[in-house]
Structure 1
Amino acid sequence: MEIRGERECKNCGARWSYYDTGNVACPECESLHSVGVDDDRKLHTANRVELDLTEAVAQLDEVPEDEALSTVKSTCREFQRKHGFVHAGELRDLDDTYLVAGELLQVADMVGRSLGRDDDEEFYLLSLLRGDEADRPAPDEVPESLRAGRGLAYAEAVREYRRELREWADASDVTIDRPATEVLSAIDEHAKRIRALEGDVPAREAERLVAVLREVTRYVRDDDEAALAQAQNRLSGLDEN
């Protein structure tokens, strides 16, 4: 939504930035009565939120597995719901933490529905849970049986990011030229195909799709022509799959 993020409390006169705090209450007196003091409304979808898996990890050895996995999924789902990619009118990147949350959501669901899992699957789930959220396992570390989790998570992330990219371009009066439009349209088609396959594609294909989106975003947002060329070259590799 487009909002005036700089706020002034009607009660005590304190000023703060909703863009930074994500809180409508005055930080000084906690009053909910405030007015916007900046001149322009800006698109803002990003909230201050962290992917905190501490409780989920602790539950692994304390409660039944289905309960622990339910906590994992609810934590990841809530993080993605609040995350957003536009901060005070500025388009941010599709970040690794968002991708990890999406993959954990899918993998936890797959593990929860399976009748059993081998050591590789167990280790991979734990590596997602206990590793640094921004340190994604490499494509060749994804077990074949769980690759659909990464494929579907990344395809969904691409769709959500594309939606906000369009909103940002409209709100910022940014014109997306024909070369970028062609790449973005191809990304949409690849993401749609992966979703139709329920994510069951090689992990490297899902990884490459995210890389293409990040590169074309740099072109649209930062006018980085080299990034567009990289996106087009990488897209050719996707088209050959």
Structure 2
Amino acid sequence: MKVRGERECQECGTRWSYYETGTVECPECESLRSVGLDERTTHTDTPVRLDLSTHRSRFGESRELLPEDEDGVDMIKSDLREYTRKRGFIRGGKLLTLDATYLAACELLEAVDLYDRLRDPTDADRDYLLSLLAGAEDGDRPSTGNVPDAFREARGMAAVRAVEEYRSDLLVFIDELDPKSEIADIDDASDTTDPSGADIDTASGVSRTARTRDLLEQLRDRTKRVEALGGDVAPAAADSLVDAANAIGEFIRDGDGDALARAQDTLSEHST
């Protein structure tokens, strides 16, 4: 959606940023009567903090690792879903990265659901889940080598969910770009501009926007293949989806030719 980020209260004159508070309510007098002071910009992110402290206590007190009452399991799933639902990757017209905390929240949600269905979890399975729970707020996830076989699906499906959400925002961001400044220039003397304003690589005749959309389509195909496997791929292959998505985002955001090459190489190298 598009919002006016800089707001002024019509009651007390306080000014604040909607991008920081996520509300049109005045932080001083709580009045809902405010006006926007700037132009509308695309904004999909909501200020929200991932707080799992209550759930860490519940997990620690349970003899079975997961809370023994079903409500405890449902609560952590609900909190993780709410966090991921509120998150986005465009803040005040600026494209963000697919960050580690969002990824960890997605993986923990998948892992809790999967662990709850395991008949005979191993010590490695328990350690993995506890490690995720302990580090998710800071974006710390177990390395690919420390993901138990039983949780390959959790890692894979977390990547699928996260990358699809990020890809969706990337497409929104591209659509909102000014046609005459679609993507920041890459240092390439062979580039020029077509009459519509889109950058053209004269060697290939392909606009940068078209190249980006082609990469996003390749990323979508890769993601769909992993999803069709239920996420059951090597953890490194799952993480490569995230790497490719962030490289594409970097190219869109900064016009970095190295990022473009990195995205192409990653998508080619880790084909499923």
- The amino acid across from 2:139 in the alignment is A
What is the match of residue 118 of structure 1?
122
- Structure-2 separation of matches of 1:65 and 1:135: 27
Matches within 5 A, 1:16-165: 16-38=16-38, 40-60=39-59, 61=61, 63-64=67-68, 66-131=70-135, 133-165=138-170
The structure whose residues are more often helix, as a share, is 1
Mark the runs of 5 or more structure 1 residues left unpaired by the alignment.
Answer: none
Aligned residues: 239
Hey, what's the Cα distance between the residues in 1 that align with 2:266 and 2:119?
A: 38
Ranges in structure 2 where 5+ consecutive residues have no aligned partner: 184-207
2:164–2:220 Cα contact (<8 Å) kept? yes
Larger Rg computed on CA atoms: 2
1:192 equivalent to 2:224? Answer yes
Q: Which runs of 4+ in 1 moved over 6 A?
A: none
Measured at CA, do residues 144 and 100 of structure 1 come closer, stay the same or move farther in structure 2, by a change above 3 Å?
same
Q: Which residue of 1 aligns with 2:173?
A: 168
After superposition, the CA RMSD in angstroms is 1.5
Task: Name the residue aligned to 1:230.
Answer: 262
How far does residue 97 in structure 1 lie from its aligned partner after superposition?
0.4
Indicate the SS of the match to 1:35. strand
TM-score (norm 2): 0.84
Task: Answer yes or no: is the 8 Å Cα contact 1:72–1:104 preserved in 2.
Answer: no
Q: Does 1:214 align with 2:246?
A: yes
C-alpha distance in 1 between matches for 2:128 and 2:264: 32
Percent identical pairs in the alignment equals 43
Inter-partner Cα distance in structure 2 for 1:74 and 1:201: 26
Q: Distance in 2 between matches of 1:203 and 1:215?
A: 18
| C-alpha contact (below 8 Å) 2:131/2:141 kept by paired residues | no
Partners of 2:69 and 2:148 in 1: CA distance: 20
TM-score (ref. length: structure 1): 0.94
| Superposed displacement of residue 65, structure 1 | 5.3
